[in-house]
Structure 1
Amino acid sequence: MTTQDHRPRTVGPRHHARARASESRQLPLYDAGSVEVPYVIQGAAEVITRDTWWDEHSHPTHELLWNERGASTATVGTRTWTVTPSVGLWVPAGVRHTGWTPAGTWQRAAQFSSHAVPSISADPVAVDVTALLSLLLDRLSEDGLSDASRATTEAMVLDVLAPAQTQLLLQVPTSPLLAPVVEVLRGDPADQTTLAGWSARLGVSSRTVTRTFVAETGLGFSQWVATARAQHAIAMLARDEEIDDVARAVGYGSASAFGTAFRRVTGVSPGRFRSM
């Protein structure tokens, strides 16, 4: 009998994280709505002190994930979303997912009763964590909030909660042909191997590599690499690392080249993203 590794397949130097103290957390698998909860919205917060893997689990409630500080990832199947202070992730009730949260992250979550709240999407989707949404969710955690005030605040949360225009999402290909590409970029997002170089290394045509990337991820080779690098860069920016250092770490010769590529993926500049 074999076991499947459900840990998120993010692209980046994961071996560095494993070298530090880490832990793996196991949570139950629930079907949507299988547990009645005594609330409409309930929040939770935790400062993660060790690099933490969240093994595959699901909730009877809808879940909104975001961070007060730092960047983490959540994975559903082959799709990995980056979660930050400004871009959260909505996970519908019953959807199985895994997670990765580096040490130092101030993690936030809110559970929404699946009986009282319809999901804003049938599938996981990014959510803009605006200042207003953050303030409303904070208010629900206040002690002594009256039932009437809670109901009003919950209604306001549901009114402003909506899918984001831009998702920090990376679809990871699973075909054996592309596995070496994924493995190299997981270890070194600055790797400069070109499409022609990979074609020669894999013994197939450039057209075959491109066609396989598009079929599995919806992106061509260059777009996928840029997205993988942006995902890694976001985690570094969330740690307040210098933009020049981030640019070099993810394979760009200058901050301006990095900024152009980052903006194409995320819709904002690295500096603007860090200040959001």
Structure 2
Amino acid sequence: MTRQIRTLPALAAGPAEMPYTILSWSETFVHDTTWNEHSHPWHELLWNERGASTAVVGARVWTITPTLGLWMPAGTLHSGSATAGTWCRAGFLAFGAVTPISPTPVGVEITPLLRLLLERLTDTELPSGSRAVTEAMVLDVLTPSSHELLLQVPTSALLRPIADAVRDDPGDQRTLADWASRLGVSARTISRAFNAETGTSFARWVAAVRAQHAVGLLTRGWDVDAVAEEVGYRSASAFGAAFRRTTGLTPGAFRAR
């Protein structure tokens, strides 16, 4: 399948000519699409109407879905990708006209109310008074989420082989002890390295990889049982419990939303 690469400039945060305080953007991608590392003068709220995409800031990888969006502050260097068929949406928020919800990228739950308000702002004929009220309501309900599909990718020579293997095959069943034996170090050494580089344990890191991969499969319509097997769980119930701990939703509820 053809992959399209888009090149955008790296621009510093600052005022930019915009017709509205929150400008809507929407695109459905025919091809797998990749963006280079770039930045915008405005803040971004990213989410999808359909499908899954990713945003990368340094060694951090977020998965963006119809229910889990991402706040990207103005001037933040980031790259990204979207698979063919994904319907990406965004709100560009004028720098200086809004108070940032976070100085760093952070997950945002796309609630039914927030979605309704953002949808209203796509109407270019919306009266200025109504637009101002709607924009104010968006800013009022826009808050960081306690759930986000975030993966901190380790980059050290010790952990990179593990990270590459698990990300290539989330169903990889090798344990901490298995990796320690293969790499010729103690399991404790690997455990300490994971906590130092990712801020979490090996088991939780693997669960995050599996959740990110599962999201892509669920948004493409895969059956929950098939997804569970693909990402390495012995049963749909075990997968469901792990997925809910990571995303706050069961796989069935996530796919339905």
Give the TM-score normalised by the residue count of structure 1. Answer: 0.91
Quick one: which of 121, 141, 149 aligns to 2:122? Answer: 141
Matched letter for residue 127 of structure 1: V
4+ aligned runs moved over 2 Å, structure 1: 34-39
In structure 2, the partner of 1:158 is 139
Helix, strand or coil at the partner of 2:24: strand
Matched letter for residue 149 of structure 1: S
| Greater mean deviation of Cα atoms: 233-242 or 31-40 | 31-40
In structure 2, the partner of 1:222 is 203
For structure 1, list consecutive stretches of 5 or more residues without a partner in the other structure: 1-19
Quick one: which of 13, 18, 28 aligns to 1:32? Answer: 13
Helix, strand or coil at the partner of 1:248: helix
The reply to whether residue 245 of structure 1 matches residue 226 of structure 2 is yes
For structure 2, list consecutive stretches of 5 or more residues without a partner in the other structure: none
The reply to whether residue 212 of structure 1 matches residue 178 of structure 2 is no
d(CA) in 2 for partners of 1:174 and 1:88?
26
In structure 1, the partner of 2:47 is 66
**Cα contact 2:15–2:41 (8 A) shared by 1:** yes
Matched letter for residue 84 of structure 2: A
Helix, strand or coil at the partner of 1:116: coil
The share of aligned pairs that are identical, in percent, is: 57
The reply to whether residue 89 of structure 1 matches residue 97 of structure 2 is no
Q: CA RMSD in A?
A: 1.1
In structure 1, the partner of 2:180 is 199
d(CA) in 2 for partners of 1:258 and 1:140?
37
1:34, distance to aligned residue in structure 2 (A): 5.1
| Greater mean deviation of Cα atoms: 32-41 or 208-217 | 32-41
**Cα contact 2:15–2:95 (8 A) shared by 1:** no
Helix, strand or coil at the partner of 1:68: strand
Deviations 1:148-202 (A, max 9, x none): 1111111111111111121111111111101111111122111111111100111
Deviations 1:232-262 (A, max 9, x none): 0011111111011101110112111111221
The reply to whether residue 106 of structure 1 matches residue 87 of structure 2 is yes
The reply to whether residue 126 of structure 1 matches residue 107 of structure 2 is yes
d(CA) in 2 for partners of 1:111 and 1:120?
14
1:68, distance to aligned residue in structure 2 (A): 0.2
d(CA) in 1 for partners of 2:204 and 2:133?
44
Matched letter for residue 185 of structure 2: V
**Cα contact 2:31–2:85 (8 A) shared by 1:** yes
1:59, distance to aligned residue in structure 2 (A): 0.5
| Greater mean deviation of Cα atoms: 128-137 or 58-67 | 128-137
